[in-house]
A and B are shown apart, each in its own frame.
Chain A
Amino acid sequence: MLRSVFRSSRVLIGLTIVGILVVCAIFAPLIAPHDPNEQNLVSILLPPAWSEGGDPSFLLGTDSLGRDVLSRLIFGARVAMTVAVLASLGAMIVGAVLAYIAGYFGGRIDALIGRAVDVWMSFPPVILSLILMVGLGVGLRNVIFAIVAVDWTRFCRVIRSEVLVVRRKDYIAAAQLMGFSHPRVIVKEIVPATLPLLITLLSMEMGIAVIVEAILSFVGMSVSANTPAWGQMVADARQTIYEAPWNLFLPIFAIFLAVLGFNILGDGLRRTLDVRLIARGRT
């Protein structure tokens, strides 16, 4: 099963993109040529090095305060990746645990959790996270919290319906008859059956988290202003859009690349893991 996952070109492409971004995030201080907040007021709005008037020491040019765009992009990957990984893991844990409980025990607790999900999902997600951020104040931890609080429902709903399917299999009843306790049945019989779905949802959610973080930092509701973030860079570049369009284009491209990477990875995983699961379950 694992072998066929790594034979999928989608998975490989996705992993490569995500891998590069993660390396940038982790080793940002080593890779970045400049301090991302260092202002060179003599050389503001420099174009990329290869175009006319570019400076080879600022490979992708500078912004309106003379900060090195490449370094800011590399440091921006830190925020993006941290949020992507932690927020989606958090959303997955909250959503999945509730989904397993609801789907496995059913009855009233299921109705209750289901209702909570419905109510939660009736708010537009971006508005909900904006409201949360206004209430909580800026900061990396709060961004993560806001995304978890909004997106756990996505996991809960999808996984619950999968659990309902698995729950009806006789091997679940058999495990109970063999003397497995309820938590053990969930961990040993149900979780493995939903693992492919979980992994796929997780990588999709990482892409979503990158976008949400970018939107929040675009409106200045994410990390504090002295931490570089891609959404912030887009917001900053708006004023100088005619003089320095690349300042707008580059962070958007970074966001696009991250989302693309996670989505291709998720799609590849869905195709390799899910298809096999379905084929096995049905034949």
Chain B
Amino acid sequence: MSILAVDNLEVSARIGTARIPVVSGLGFTLQRGSVLGVVGESGAGKSMIGRAIAQILPQGFSVTGGLSFLGQDLIGMPAEQRRMLLGRDIAFVPQEPLSGLNPVLTIGAQIDEHLARLGIGAKRARRDYALDMLNAVRLPRPADILGKYAHQLSGGMCQRVLIAMAFASRPKLLIADEPTTALDVTTQSRIVELIRDLQRSEGTSVIFITHDLRLAADISDQVLVLYAGRLAEYGPAKEIFADAAHPYTRCLQLSNPSVHASRIGLYSLPDRMPGISALGSIAGCLFGPRCPNVIDACREKTPRAVSVGEGHDVACIRSDLTARIDPPLRQAIDKKPYGASLLTVESVSKTFSMTSGIFRRTNFQAVRNINFTLQQNEFVGIVGESGSGKSTVARLLCGLETATEGKLVLAGRDVTGGDKVSRQHQRAHIQMVFQDPQSALNPRRSVASIITQAMEAAGQATWRDRLAKAEALLHEVGLPSDAALRFPSELSGGQKQRVNIARALCRAPEILVADEIVSGLDVSVQAQLLNLLLRLRSERSFSMVLISHDLAVVRYLCDRVFVMHKGEFVEAGPTADVFDHPQHPYTESLLAAVPRDFVADAARRDRRNGISPADEIV
């Protein structure tokens, strides 16, 4: 039985007097108890689909077309009747967990209100019910959580509260918008498991929106790939991932690194998806400007979705050639011979003593007895879940924190003490690329001023010198030179991260410390940045300490990896060895949390068939 039938759905935005379709011509049906994954880069219109179904569109957006839920027309039905359905039969978990919760009410009060609205239980019974709900999503100490406010919980906890609330009414349809983005693998797999469990036990249908194809393939029955608000490909999840028919799907797959596959190159999709205002100016296939298979015929008219298999539709006129799109060769030049040892970390520990009041102190050991060395041109990775102490290691290396025990030797000089001379030495040799470009770039400075801040600190440099230097660095990181005079708020996430990298390169450091620099970015942007780092290494020669909760990213870039758990390195070794044959149970659990790798399967199969000449450099 079909729960939801979508036919020729169009969501359009009113811009001035014009109506511009953000989502257009979309159709699919969702069967009872099945999971539909919706995939695409950010801005593809994924959230719009979810919001159109749940009827919570932003101001100025309108929906046309067929949208029927259990045979009832969602668009035409009276508002009163729709309100009865939403929140009860159709539950929605919004993309930003904090925006879904009221900041001035406790979690308990909100759940209670929600349950009261659903008409569940008497006041007394509702509290017990709420506790059960929180238990079901495996939140620790639910009774405490009821008394807290949203801002006192982590993102993952808020997400779980919202999921618990969504499931409270035993909905027939759950729409989850990026419920796992920006969570570490362990939390992510816990949430996926939860949705899957509840889906199985209640027979709920789920629309799972994500930009992570691998995750979508893992959790879904069907997958819908969206490009610029149009259907690119729709079909059975496993089939799409084993045998992508649309070039966009294939390119997304090839730009996603894999934890298990040996190191083939990453496909780097050029540019960005056009924004709504640019859509009108593209003739024919909207993916044309970025498509490796584009020919003149593609520009003549918008390709219609055609069937290429049972329940498998593709909007491409040359889908038979899609499988021939190859991952690029991983150039031997990627890898430079190691040089002398640059950095030695010996039994370093860091204990924070937190002052509460003038005399009271509590101690917390964030990093415990870590050891490693780093050679010239070597890229090492540090993985672990959030809170394991990875960022503290980064800050210790850069000299933003001082070690409480142990020794740090950098380029022949002991810099453990953190005195002024050591700090200067550190600053000349190590620079950091920060995690969140939003917080790492001063919104009041222009890009050129940010990038050349080191010259400002050294004094003397004129603005003209700085501008020239900034333009050279922008060129190196692949940004146009007119970006120099823009402000961070005028850049996209990927562009901000490039500025972040350019700033770190300004003093030509020998070591870059990069803390989660691609988390939360689209795979296509991530691939561009990862390839940028490899290119920079071959051009400039530097070493890198890459900190990430994404094991695949570390596998792609790093030769050696350290697995960090509760402040300690629990496992270390060459990346391939550690990820293919983990020794420590914690490493195993991290690897187990990664969704199964259909992409790697596909790549391997291609190699077997001799289609893809992916080479391996290990």
Interface residues of A (CB under 8 A from B): 107-108, 111-112, 115, 168-171, 173-180, 184, 189, 192-193, 280-281, 283
Contact = CB atoms under 8 A, between A and B. Distances in A.
Contact of A169 (B400, B439, B489): B439
A101 to B, nearest CB: 15
28 contacts: A108-B355, A108-B358, A111-B355, A111-B357, A168-B439, A169-B439, A169-B440, A169-B442, A170-B434, A170-B440, A171-B441, A174-B432, A174-B440, A175-B442, A175-B453, A176-B400, A177-B400, A177-B427, A177-B431, A178-B457, A178-B503, A179-B424, A179-B427, A179-B457, A179-B458, A180-B457, A184-B457, A281-B443
Nearest to B506: A178
Given A170-B434, A174-B432, A189 B400 contact: no
A260 to B, nearest CB: 31
A107 B458 CA distance: 29
B583 to A, nearest CB: 35
Given A168-B439, A283-B489, 14 more contacts: A108-B358, A111-B355, A111-B357, A169-B439, A171-B442, A173-B434, A174-B434, A175-B442, A177-B399, A177-B400, A177-B431, A178-B454, A179-B458, A281-B443
Given A171-B439, A174-B453, A179-B427, A115 B432 contact: no
B496 to A, nearest CB: 12
Given A170-B435, A177-B400, A107 B427 contact: no
Given A112-B358, A170-B434, A178-B427, A192 B444 contact: yes
B436 interface: yes
A193 B424 contact: no
A23 B91 CA distance: 63
Contact of A170 (B427, B436, B443, B458): B436
Interface of B: 355, 357-358, 395, 398-400, 424, 427, 431-432, 434-436, 439-444, 450, 453-454, 456-458, 489, 503, 506-507
Contacts of B454: 178-179
Nearest to B458: A179
Contact of B432 (A107, A177, A179, A281): A177
Contacts of B439: 168-171
A170 B503 CA distance: 13
Contact of A177 (B357, B398, B450, B489): B398
Contacts of B399: 177
A179 B398 CA distance: 12
B384 to A, nearest CB: 20
A2 to B, nearest CB: 14
Contact of A280 (B395, B434, B443, B456): B443
Contact of B442 (A115, A184, A189): A189
Contact of A115 (B358, B434, B456, B506): B358
Contacts of B427: 177-179
Nearest to B424: A179
Nearest to B457: A179
B253 to A, nearest CB: 32
Contacts of B458: 179
B357 A193 contact: no
A151 to B, nearest CB: 24
B392 to A, nearest CB: 13
A118 to B, nearest CB: 11
Contacts of A189: 442
Nearest to B435: A170
Contacts of A112: 358
B355 A193 contact: no
B436 A193 contact: no
A102 to B, nearest CB: 12
The list of the 8 closest CB pairs from A to B, nearest first, reads A179-B457, A170-B440, A170-B434, A171-B442, A178-B454, A178-B453, A111-B358, A170-B439
Nearest to B354: A107
A180 B449 CA distance: 14
Contacts of A177: 398-400, 427, 431-432
B520 to A, nearest CB: 15
A179 to B, nearest CB: 4
Contacts of B450: 171
A107 B400 contact: no
A189 B442 CA distance: 8
B355 A171 contact: no
Given A169-B439, A170-B436, A193 B444 contact: yes
Nearest to A179: B457
Q: Name, among B427, B443, B457, the residue most crowded by chain A CB atoms within 10 Å (CB to CB).
A: B457
A211 B390 CA distance: 54
A173 B434 CA distance: 9
Contacts of B424: 179
Contacts of A193: 442, 444
Contacts of A107: 355
Contacts of B457: 175, 178-180, 184
Contacts of A169: 439-440, 442
A190 to B, nearest CB: 10
Contacts of B444: 192-193
A218 to B, nearest CB: 40
